[in-house]
Amino acid sequence: KFRAIADNSLMGIVLLESGIIQYMNNKMQDLLGFTLEEAQKWGPYNFVKYIYPDDQHVIAKYREEFYNPDSSY
């Protein structure tokens, strides 16, 4: 059910595991200009370089909170 919704979404959707892209819907592939197979060859968290520079701190914050839930980032 998720895949049917995500594949037809007008928004780009990405699922990560340990910082590596495991799923990208078609819209995200179109936005980035990369296929899922290409993106899966990137190193962990290498996708961050494709995020607008002013927003990269948000990803860093979520990553810190995920791995260190008791930290005061």
Report d(CA 34, CA 69) in Å as an integer.
Answer: 32
> Could you read off the pLDDT of 53-64 as tens digits, one per residue?
999 888 888 888
The two tokens of residue 30 are: 């179109």
Say whether pTM exceeds 0.85: no
DSSP H/E element including 17? strand 14-17
Report d(CA 10, CA 45) in Å as an integer.
Answer: 24
What is the three-class DSSP state of 52? coil
pLDDT for the residue numbered 27:
96
Pure H helices in 1-73: 2-7, 26-32, 36-39, 56-67
